[in-house]
Amino acid sequence: MLEASPLDGWKLRHEGEELPAVVPGCVHTDLLAAGAISDPFVGSAESEVAWVGRREWTYETHLPAVPSGHEQTDLVFDGLDTVAEITLAGRLLGRVRNMHRSYRFDVTGLGGPLSVRFASAYAEAEAVRGKVGDRPGAYAEPYQYLRKMACSFGWDWGPTLVTAGIWRPVRVERWSTARLARVRPLVTVEQGVGVVELLVDVERTRVQAGLTLEARVGDRRVRADVVGSGAAVRVEVPDAQLWWPRGCGEQPLYEVELTLHHNSAPLDVWRRRVGFRRVELDTSADARGTGFTLVVNGERLFARGVNWIPDDVFPSRVTRERYRKRLRQAADAGVDLIRVWGGGLYESEDFYDACDELGLLVWQDFPFACAAYPEEQPLRGEVEAEARENVVRLMPHPSLVLWNGNNENLWGFRDWGWEERLGGDSWGEGYYLGVLPRVVAELDPTRPYTAGSPWSGSWSRHPNDPAHGTHHSWEVWNRQDYADYRSEVPRFVAEFGWQAPPAHATLRRALPGEVLAADSPGMLHHQKAEDGNGKLARGLARHFVVPEADFDRWHYLTQVNQARAVATGIEHWRSHWPVCAGTIVWQLNDCWPVTSWSAIDGDGREKPLYHELRRLYADRLLTVQEREGRLVVAAVNQCAERWEGTVTLRRLSVQGRELAAATAELAVGAREVGETPVPAELVPAGAEEFLVADSRGCPRAGGAGSEGRLRAVHFPASDREVPYPRPEFEVSVAPGTVTVTAHTLVRDLLLQADRLDPDARADRGLVTLLPGERVTIGVEGWQTPDAAAARAALYCQEPAR
């Protein structure tokens, strides 16, 4: 039977110095553990450790040459970052140049000192650039010249910390006769029968008759003979339970076990969990253009998505528990789709396992982002090899529903001046429209492939045409007001977002001792977007009067503005289902403490946007929208059940007086949107009035404490024009709760729980209370409840100063 054991005892060597090394890990984490560098997440230490990415580093250990009773011994690296030379007892085993691949070396009968010497990623990238020629990219760093996580070189939300090291596990495998070299599971549903077809490649030490495979799925077992180097085994599961996205059904998973035998003796075992479901991508043309709708088990879905970046700039630090926590946060926010963005990684099995269990659909980018990628060697062969390995590795996961060729490169070629600069040089089109779709079609025909995001489906149209395929909406953040989200109805919004700083406690940890200001040195260092603070300031000025030299107020208002911006887009686009079939917010998470577009900051704290997503992505949503100059209340029903009830409409003054009221009946079909016109007498007449729409008895409402009530609030003017009363409210506390009772209109009330205790967390974000209403906010991690402290941590809209 194949035996596998980890290889330990690693040391990190550089210029004669030796440090303990942790594998999996990287140079930076080993240097941090030894106290040799400062934490690059704190202050401006990122710049102080830039030298690390420009040096060579060597990992060393000893491989014992112990007779094992097996015919072959393999040394297996699951991940090497990135360009390295591996030697054993002075003998070259191989040279590698791809972070996204695993490597296997035959070390039968060998032993002695084992060395993995990493070249500087910068040196390698520059060497490749010198060979293939210069290519344009969104950033000056040379990330497109080697197969490495692009955002190691920095991004508009990430630090430049260019890693090296053995970033995934290393093991020694000992085996005889034969082993399972590759297992490719095709999981389908045929007329209610679940089918698992296992296509198997077998590696042999020698030609040997009597090799058989036994596959088991539940209580179903099938055997097959191995002929030559492979075999196929088909297992049928009658009455298989379907795997569904969260909110649509359950997520049953079936254990698949494949055993390779020689005669009756087991040689190797492969185990995975699979789920039975059918996935399609509907890109058919219609009167509005070209659609982009995910269909799972025959159900057409509005995808409620978030973009995922690596959760740490040092990926080896992301544990199974951390993946699960972050993805659980996503699921709790109503998210049903995670897009793994192309400047990052093919994530570990732990990530996809959690998505399988939580019912989170996965859109997987191939790792290409925001640059022209050369198609010459040595890159072309690496691209195909990594694609083949990772497509097969991830195939068992039912959560994986879409392969995507790249992030923004087709758009960049057409719109960012690349075409002229390239002058006919290769830039990646051959990957996205040739190599990658061919690999997916050959290896994983059960899943759809799309060439890029954004992509309109054809060069006959602009790649980012909102009427066709996927669309990235960045003009709004970069140059416009978020109200302009309402000017378009794209078929699928794969990226859009708005910035806000991280939580206060995160800033205090990352910038110790600094007097915080929007433009203080540490804040500027932890703002990586081009003119990021300028865009934040202009976005605020359109809606709020921002007091000068009041950081706390600025911090609060930028958080509010982020939530408002994203809400404006999602409410508008969801109300236009099925023309628009999905939104993917940029972005769920951060990889370090930074001002960014994230809903969860680099320390794992939830911004107000996170809690707003719980409302926006709930199965049922109530929103006030404009249709041809008239207001309507749109009831968005993503449930499989009909939504029937009433909606109460009230026109109120900001002083709290009811000016008019009416009720209307709701009758919205399953997975449909219903619209109720707002009577003329209920339309707010100016900045001193607003509209409130309430629907009760709605069990699929989102957000903590919604208690089955859905509410939409519509103000016809920007906040800077609204004559808010001075907010008056009472605060009471009890263990685990803060209760606020409003005596006036209190708009955008926010308890910043991390100001009470860095470990404290509130169960909701922004809340608007009418006079006489109250809200009870759950608070975890606050050990000494105090009403005065709670009041000091509460923020809301105030009269303009």
What Rg do the C-alpha atoms of the chain give, in angstroms? 28
- Count of CB atoms within 10 A of residue 62's CB? 16
Lateral strand order in the sheet of 630-637: 620-627, 630-637, 672-677
- Residue that has been written with the tokens 């942790």 in this structure: 22
Specify whether the CB–CB gap between 495 and 473 falls below 8 A.
yes
Structure tokens at 655: 């002083």
* Cα-based distances in Å from 800 to 268, 545, 724: 71, 6, 8
Specify whether the CB–CB gap between 590 and 510 falls below 8 A.
no
Burial of 693 (0-12, 13-18, 19+ CB in 10 A): buried
State the Cα–Cα distance between residues 615 and 767, nearest whole angstrom.
Answer: 11
Catalytic residue positions, numbered: 408
Strands 449-450 and 400-404, sheet pairing: parallel
414 by DSSP, 3-state: which? helix
Instruction: Label residue 289 left, alpha or beta by phi (over 0 means left) and psi (-120 to 50 means alpha).
Output: left
Find out whether the peptide bond into 679 is cis, omega within 30 degrees of 0: no
Q: How far is CA 370 from the centre of its chain?
A: 17
Find out whether the peptide bond into 40 is cis, omega within 30 degrees of 0: no
Structure tokens at 398: 């039912």
* DSSP structure class, residue 671: T
State the Cα–Cα distance between residues 664 and 122, nearest whole angstrom.
Answer: 64
Containing H/E element for 702?
none
* Cα-based distances in Å from 451 to 56, 230, 245, 295, 470: 36, 31, 24, 18, 10
Structure tokens at 116: 């993995």
130: which residues sit within 8 A by CB, 6+ positions away? none
DSSP letters spanning 206-245: S--S-EEEEEEETTEEEEEE-BTTEEEEEEEETTPPBP--
Lateral strand order in the sheet of 729-734: 729-734, 737-742, 774-780, 761-762
State the Cα–Cα distance between residues 83 and 68, nearest whole angstrom.
Answer: 31
Q: Which residues of 601-635 are buried (b: 16+ CB within 10 A; e: fewer)?
A: bbbbbbbbbbbbbbbbbbbbbbbbbeeeeebbbbb
